[in-house]
Amino acid sequence: MNIQSNFEIRPARVEDVPVILGLIRELATYERAPDEVTATEERLVDVLFGEKPVAEVLLAFEGKSPVGFAVFFHNFSTWLGRPGLYLEDLFVKPDKRGKGYGRALLVDLAKVARDRGCGRMEWAVLDWNEPAIKFYRSLGAKPMEEWTVFRLTHDGIAKLAQSESTSAKEP
């Protein structure tokens, strides 16, 4: 680990939205889905800095050059009765990996979680991303092997929202 002396992590500001969108696009390319990004600068301004922000971003810089980011938001644990911190995306540019920047972003996130009284931090990782899985395990994170992530996308949400609440059969 060799963090540069000119390395900085700070919360994103509204003027950083173009940088955030660029990092989102780089992440999508890394995750083999470059055509799936539909986010726009206008939408990001609204959801990150509008009247009711729904997520936060930490940006990592080497000098004045952005090298990575962490996008996170709060969820809630009913069993703990406490908020949690959900890491939606952690990304360090491939040519900047191995310098400790990813770990530094996670350390800062852990401090946010601690300072906000969160009972846990959680995130998902693609099952083919062995370097990330190894990295997360090295930090003491454990996979939740008995859990399966479910997702409804835009069309599925609309279809479910239009259905009768009594028409679905529960197990």
34 is in which domain, residue-wise? 7-146
Q: Is residue 39 part of a domain?
A: yes
Q: Is residue 140 part of a domain?
A: yes
Q: Work out the angle at residue 112's Cα, subtended by the Cα atoms of residues 106 and 116, and round it to the nearest 5 degrees.
A: 145
Number of domains in the chain: 1
* pTM attached to this predicted model: 0.89
CATH of the domain at 44: 3.40.630.30
pLDDT at position 166: 64
- Integer Cα distance of 34 and 3 in angstroms: 29
Q: Is 136 a catalytic residue?
A: yes
Residue 99 token pair: 């310098």
Residue 24 token pair: 């989102």
Query: What average pLDDT does the segment 105-116 reach?
Result: 97
Of the listed ranges 44-48, 82-86, 115-119, 127-131, the least confidently predicted one is 127-131
Q: pLDDT digits over 8-67, tens only?
A: 999 999 999 999 999 999 999 999 999 999 999 999 999 999 999 999 999 999 999 999
